[in-house]
Structure 1
Amino acid sequence: MATVFWDSRGIILLDILPNRASFNADRYCETLDRLRHAVRRKRPGLLRSGVVLQHDNATPHTAKRTKEWLQRYRWDIIPHPARSPDLAPSDFHLFEPLKRHLGGKKFEGEDEVIGEVRDWFSKLDANFFTQGIYIYSLLPRWQKCIALHGDYMYIVK
Structure 2
Amino acid sequence: MQKRPSLINRGRIVFHQDNARPHISLVTRQKLREFGWEVLLHPPYSPDLAPSDYHLFLSMANALGSLKLATRESCENWLSEFFANRGASFYVKGIMMLASRWERVIEQNGAYLT
Instruction: Give the TM bin, normalised by the shorter chain.
Output: 0.5 to 0.7
The one of 86, 98, 103 aligned to 1:138: 98
Q: Match of 1:87, SS? A: coil
The one of 59, 67, 78 aligned to 1:105: 67
What is the total number of aligned residue pairs between the two structures? 92
Q: Structure 1-normalised TM-score?
A: 0.45
Q: Structure 2-normalised TM-score?
A: 0.59
Corresponding position: 1:80 with 2:43: yes
Preserved CA contact (<8 Å) 1:50 1:74: no
One-letter amino acid of the counterpart of residue 128, structure 1: F
Measured in 1, the distance between the counterparts of 2:98 and 2:76 equals 26
Return closer, same or farther for 1:77/1:112 CA change in 2, 3 Å cut-off.
farther
Corresponding position: 1:91 with 2:53: yes
Runs of 4+ residues over 6 Å off in structure 1: none
One-letter amino acid of the counterpart of residue 102, structure 2: W
Measured in 2, the distance between the counterparts of 1:73 and 1:124 equals 36
One-letter amino acid of the counterpart of residue 96, structure 1: L
Corresponding position: 1:129 with 2:91: yes
Measured in 2, the distance between the counterparts of 1:124 and 1:51 equals 25
| Matching residue of 1:53 | 17
> How far does residue 133 in structure 1 lie from its aligned partner after superposition?
1.7
> How far does residue 86 in structure 1 lie from its aligned partner after superposition?
1.0
| Matching residue of 2:113 | 155
The one of 54, 79, 83 aligned to 1:117: 79
Percent of aligned pairs sharing the same letter: 27
One-letter amino acid of the counterpart of residue 110, structure 2: Y
Bigger strand fraction: 1
Measured in 2, the distance between the counterparts of 1:112 and 1:73 equals 44
Preserved CA contact (<8 Å) 1:86 1:155: yes
Give the RMSD, CA atoms, in angstroms: 3.1
Measured in 1, the distance between the counterparts of 2:85 and 2:26 equals 34
Return closer, same or farther for 1:153/1:101 CA change in 2, 3 Å cut-off.
same
Measured in 1, the distance between the counterparts of 2:14 and 2:26 equals 13
